[in-house]
Amino acid sequence: MVGSVFEARVYVTLKQGVLDPQGDTVRSALEALGFAGVGDVRIGKFMVLTLNGASRAEAEAQVHAMCRQLLANPVIEDYRFDLADAPASSPSPPPGEGTGEGVRPAPKMRAGGT
């Protein structure tokens, strides 16, 4: 049986209660620019990885394990992720389907470069 290729988008942020001086500094800068309605800014990490899995459930379990073991430090960080079919894996890709809680299907975009 041939597995599928998935694209996981992993978001890692500092837990509530952990001081985020970068976020505080950015919030101050936004205020200085006149964006008065900004309550809180948290800076985190965004990682995109492609992986093979026999099924979506297996791929999800793999990404959870990756996050717990390496991608996030549970002492200071929370993580969540979306899992979608990798763009190149099917000729007519289905619309991206977010599985992370409260996350809309992410638009196709590249990580990194501006």
Partner 1 sequence: MKIGVLVFPGSWSHDDFLWVFREVLRVAAEPVWHKETSVSGFDALVLPGGFAHGDYLRAGAIARFSPVMPAVRRFAEGGGPVLGSCNGFQILCEAGLLPGALLRNDSLQYRCQWVQLRVDNPDTPFTPGAGRGQVLAMPISHGEGRYFADPATLRRMNDRGQIVLRYCTPDGRLTNAANPNGSLGHIAGIVSEGGNVFGLMPHPERAGEPAVGGTDGLLLLRALAGGLAAPAR
b/e map of 55-94 (b: 16 or more CB within 10 Å)?
eeeebbebbeebbeeebbeeeebbbbbbbbbbeeeeeeee
111: contact with partner 1 by CB under 8 A: no
82 close to 8: Cβ distance less than 8 angstroms: yes
Q: Residue 62 CB, nearest distance to partner 1 (Å)?
A: 17
Q: Residue 13 CB, nearest distance to partner 1 (Å)?
A: 13
| Binding pattern for the stretch 28-57 against partner 1, x by CB under 8 A and - elsewhere | ------------------------------
In the complex, which residues of this chain contact partner 1 (CB under 8 A)? 14, 17-19, 21-22, 25, 70-71, 73, 75-76
